[in-house]
Amino acid sequence: MEEAEWVWMDGTLVPWGEAKVHVLTHALHYGTAVFEGTRVFATPRGPAAFRLDEHLERLVRSTRMIGLTLPYTMDELRAATLATVAANGHPACYIRHLVHRGYGEMGIAARGCPTVVSIASWSWGPLLGTGGVRLMTSSWRRNDHTVVPTAAKATGPYLNSVMAKNEALDAGYDEAVLLNAAGYVSECTGANIFVVRDGLLATPPSSAGALDGITQDTVERLAAGLGLRAERRELLRSDLYVADEVFVCGTGAGIAHVSSVDRRELGGPGPVTAKLADAYDAAVHGRDDRYRSWLTPITA
């Protein structure tokens, strides 16, 4: 990871190496934190954050779902984000917002612990590469919404992703796709999944245990702009095997084509994935005026 200069912590920019917490931080013990990953892209008008308000709104929803009280308004969070990225001087970067229950008292409830907000940014390439993702169906099932709020981007439940990702890497794959408790496809460890069959796009709904992905929503809107139909519906594991194309999408991954599922070759990138990836690239880099409102220029 490429270190940047500054990290924003509760209202102050602190040097990267000093952005630290105590070992008795509540979130370290009990997973009581929520986070966001947002990207800043280079555009002809300078660096710009992609769908920043949607990411901040999801961060706010996540805090509400797990019962954290966010001590900042949307306007304050937006301003702090832009100030952090500007101070670090990135032409393009990844931004990690984290709201965690801090250090104060021990115990499960620990309501006396402060809520700490931090914003870090650094330069980070596409997380799944660009050569085609070899996907494995995980032996781990996705977190169930009856156990934890799966729509919250909360750190505790990410242990499920960590287990599945490492299982896939250890077995020689690039990424895992998780089925939910009912056996339907939910999502990957850090990305949503789409299948394309006979020109129709389909992706699991959030009720399948998938995050309400902002890139997933972006793909659906770009698809509509290209005259493609997209639907959210339950997908079977076997739908992945007989798809014409499969791709995964997320802020970290971008749009990445899946070249095989459980060693069944899909090849690609197929024509629909390629078209969407081009449209996404144009939108995030400010080359398509229809999507200019998705970009927030980085201003100090």
Active site residues: 153
Give residue 35's identity as a one-letter amino acid code: F
Burial of 69 (0-12, 13-18, 19+ CB in 10 A): exposed
Residues that bind ligand PMP (CB under 6 A): 37, 161, 187, 190-192, 211, 213-216, 250-252
CB of 250 to ligand PMP, least distance (A): 3
Q: How far apart are CA 165 and CA 167, in angstroms?
A: 5
Beta strands, E only, 150-290: 175-179, 185-188, 192-197, 200-203, 229-232, 245-250, 254-261, 264-265
**Integer CA distances (angstroms), 92 to 130, 202, 251, 285, 299, in order:** 18, 31, 13, 10, 13
Burial of 163 (0-12, 13-18, 19+ CB in 10 A): middle
Nearer to ligand PMP, 98 or 191 (CB): 191
Give residue 179's identity as a one-letter amino acid code: L
DSSP structure class, residue 150: T
CB of 121 to ligand PMP, least distance (A): 15
CB of 105 to ligand PMP, least distance (A): 30
CB of 281 to ligand PMP, least distance (A): 15
- Cβ density class 124-137: b for 16+ within 10 Å, e for less: beebbeeebbbbbb
Nearer to ligand PMP, 87 or 123 (CB): 123
Beta-bridge partner residues of 118 = 9, 98
Q: How far apart are CA 120 and CA 137, in angstroms?
A: 32
Nearer to ligand PMP, 7 or 95 (CB): 95
CB of 104 to ligand PMP, least distance (A): 28
Nearer to ligand PMP, 4 or 208 (CB): 208
Nearer to ligand PMP, 159 or 224 (CB): 159
